């Protein structure tokens, strides 16, 4: 078995556990993660003494169904099939929102 598949096999053996924290604890975990530029699960790994990897390129993943894509296309005056342009417009709108943010 080549090295690539050996690594894939070890990943398949990992056990994923989900934890439900109280809302105030979860908020603190998310805040600490944002401050440290890591994901919330890595804050927990850090707290319990397990290794973690700092995020190289932080991203936010969003999933859109076909109705939502159509709604966004209409909102931006675009064709619903033009996913790249819809993505660009969403990024532009969110950046603008936070650049004009008067909350702080």
Query: What's the pLDDT at 17?
Result: 85
Per-residue confidence band for 102, with pLDDT thresholds at 50, 70 and 90? low
How do residues 38-70 score in pLDDT, each as one tens digit? 889 999 999 999 998 887 776 788 899 999 999
Structural domain boundaries in the chain: 21-59, 66-99
Contact 51, 38 (CB under 8 A): no
- 65-85, pLDDT tens digit by residue? 999 999 999 999 999 999 999
Q: What is the pTM of this model?
A: 0.58
């Amino acid at each position: 078995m080549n090295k690539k598949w050996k690594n894939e096999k070890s990943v398949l053996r990992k056990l994923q556990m989900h934890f439900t924290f109280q809302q105030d604890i979860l908020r603190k975990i998310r805040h600490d993660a944002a401050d440290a530029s890591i994901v919330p699960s890595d804050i927990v790994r850090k707290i319990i003494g397990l290794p973690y990897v700092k995020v190289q390129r932080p991203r936010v993943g969003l999933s859109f169904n076909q109705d939502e894509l159509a709604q966004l296309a209409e909102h931006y005056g675009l064709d619903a099939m033009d996913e790249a342009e819809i993505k660009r417009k969403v990024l532009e709108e969110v950046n603008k929102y936070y650049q004009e943010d008067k909350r702080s």
